[in-house]
Amino acid sequence: MTYSRKDLILGVDTHKDFHHAAVINHVGKSIADRKFDATSAGYSDLIAWATGVGRIGRAGIEGTGSYGAGLTRELTRRGIPVIDVIAPDKQLRRLRGKTDQIDAYNAARAVLNELATAVPKTQDGFVEALRVLRTSRRLLVKQRTESMNQLQCLIVSAPADLRVSLAKLKAKNLALRCSKIPVRKADDLVMTETKNVLRSLGKRYLELLTEADRLMKRLGAIVKEHAPELLAVHGVGPDVAATMLIVAGENVDRLNNESAFAHLIGTAPIQASSGKTNRHRLNRGGHRQGNSAAYRIVMVRMKSHEKTRDYVVKALARGKTKREAMRLLKRYVAREIFQILITIRERHQQAAISA
C-alpha cells in the first residue's frame, strides 16, 4: 500500500486486555482516539473505526512483538503499513505525563516525525516457529542448570556416607545415580528426606535434558529444511543459525543493507568523534543474542579456520589486540551472514510465487 503525505496516521498503545488507538493528521493534529478490546473482534472494530475517520496511510504500534502482535498481523493483512514504535523516553514522559491516550498519540507522532521507522518482523512463518522452539529450549536449559546446581549444593551438606558415594560423579551420571537412590529402613529422618529430594532433583534434571534435546532436534530439522545455506557456513550450527534468523526476522529485507544488520547485532563500531579527534568506540547496543551468535562463530573459526587464524596473526602484527581482532571478525561475519539471509529470503519468495 502506498501512502501520501496527506494521509492520516494511526497510533496504538497496546496492553494485554485492550488497546488505545489515536488518529492524527499530516501535521500532527489530534483527530480522535478510542479504546478497543485486544481480541479478534476488537482488532476489526479498531480498524473499521480508524478507516472510518479517514484514509490511514501508516500505523505506529508499541509492542509489535508482544501485546501488539495480533493487531500488527491484522493491519498488515489489510494492507496498512505498520511501524514498530518504542516507548517515549523518561524525559518526555516527565514533561507531558503518561496516559494510554497520550502514549497512543505519541506513537502516531513518532511515525509522522520519522522518529520511528523500523518495520516489524513477520510472525507467521518458519522463523516464528524457530523463535518459539528456541525460547522454550532456553528456559528448559536454565531450569536444568538450576536443578543441577541445587542437587550439587544439597550433596555438599548431605550425610558423609551419601556425600562420598556421589562426590566424583559428573552431571548426567550424578542425576542418573540420584534418580535411583533407594531409601532403606535403617536411614534416619535426615538421610531419608535428603535421598527423597535428591531422587526428585535427579529425575527432574533428566526430564529437562530429554525435553531440551527433543526441541533442539526439532529446531535443527526446521533450519535444515528452510535455511540449509546457513548451516554450510563455517562455525554455524543449528542454534547459531536459528538465532541469526530470529534476530533478522523472516522479512530480512526490512533491513536496508548489511550495515543495518551489523548495527542490529551490535557488531558495527559507533562514531565517537569530536573536534580534532576522529575515532570509533565499541558498540554496546544491538541484539545481544545476535552478538553472542557472531562471537561464537568467530571463536570456532579462530580455532579451526585457516584464513581466520591467518587474519588474526596479521591483525596482531599491526598492533591490534586479540579482542580488537575479534571485533573486526564479527563485522565480517555480519556481512557474510546478511548476504545469506537475503538469499534465503529471495528463495522463499520465489517458492511462494511459484506455489
Each of the 355 residues of the chain gets a pLDDT tens digit; together they read 455 667 899 999 999 999 999 999 988 999 999 999 999 999 999 999 999 999 999 999 998 989 999 999 999 999 999 999 987 767 767 777 788 999 999 999 999 988 888 888 888 889 999 999 999 999 999 999 999 999 999 999 888 888 998 988 999 999 999 999 998 888 889 999 999 999 999 999 999 999 999 999 999 999 999 999 999 999 999 999 999 999 999 889 888 899 999 999 999 888 777 877 777 777 888 899 999 999 999 999 999 999 999 999 999 999 989 998 999 999 999 999 999 999 999 998 888 888 7
- HEC string of 247-261 equals HHCCCHHHCCCHHHH
Are the C-beta atoms of 53 and 74 separated by less than 8 Å?
no
What separation in angstroms does the CA of 100 have from each of 14, 65, 67, 162, 250?
A: 9, 19, 14, 59, 31
**Residue 180: how many CA atoms within 13 Å on its side-chain side?**
5
What integer pLDDT is reported at residue 334 of this predicted model? 95
Residue 37 DSSP SS3: strand
What integer pLDDT is reported at residue 229 of this predicted model? 95
What integer pLDDT is reported at residue 13 of this predicted model? 95
As a whole number of angstroms, the distance between CA 351 and CA 355 comes to: 6
What integer pLDDT is reported at residue 4 of this predicted model? 61
What integer pLDDT is reported at residue 1 of this predicted model? 47
What integer pLDDT is reported at residue 89 of this predicted model? 66
Are the C-beta atoms of 174 and 166 separated by less than 8 Å?
yes
Domain 8-112 adopts which CATH fold?
Nucleotidyltransferase; domain 5 (3.30.420)
Residue indicated by cell numbers 502482535: 69
What integer pLDDT is reported at residue 244 of this predicted model? 96
260 contact partners, CB below 8 Å, separation of at least 6: none
Give the DSSP per-residue string, 283-340: ---S-HHHHHHHHHHHHHHHHH-HHHHHHHHHHHHTT--HHHHHHHHHHHHHHHHHHH
Are the C-beta atoms of 242 and 224 separated by less than 8 Å?
no
Residue indicated by cell numbers 506455489: 355
Q: Find, among 208, 210, 215, the residue nearest to 146 by Cα.
A: 208
Residue type, 41: A
Q: In this structure, what are the phi and psi dihedrals at residue 275, rounded to the nearest 5 degrees?
A: 60, -125
Residue 159 DSSP code: -
Q: In this structure, what are the phi and psi dihedrals at residue 82, rounded to the nearest 5 degrees?
A: -115, 135
What integer pLDDT is reported at residue 211 of this predicted model? 97
Report domain extents, the chain: 8-112, 126-226, 230-354
What integer pLDDT is reported at residue 123 of this predicted model? 83
Are the C-beta atoms of 237 and 231 separated by less than 8 Å?
yes
Residue 114 DSSP SS3: coil
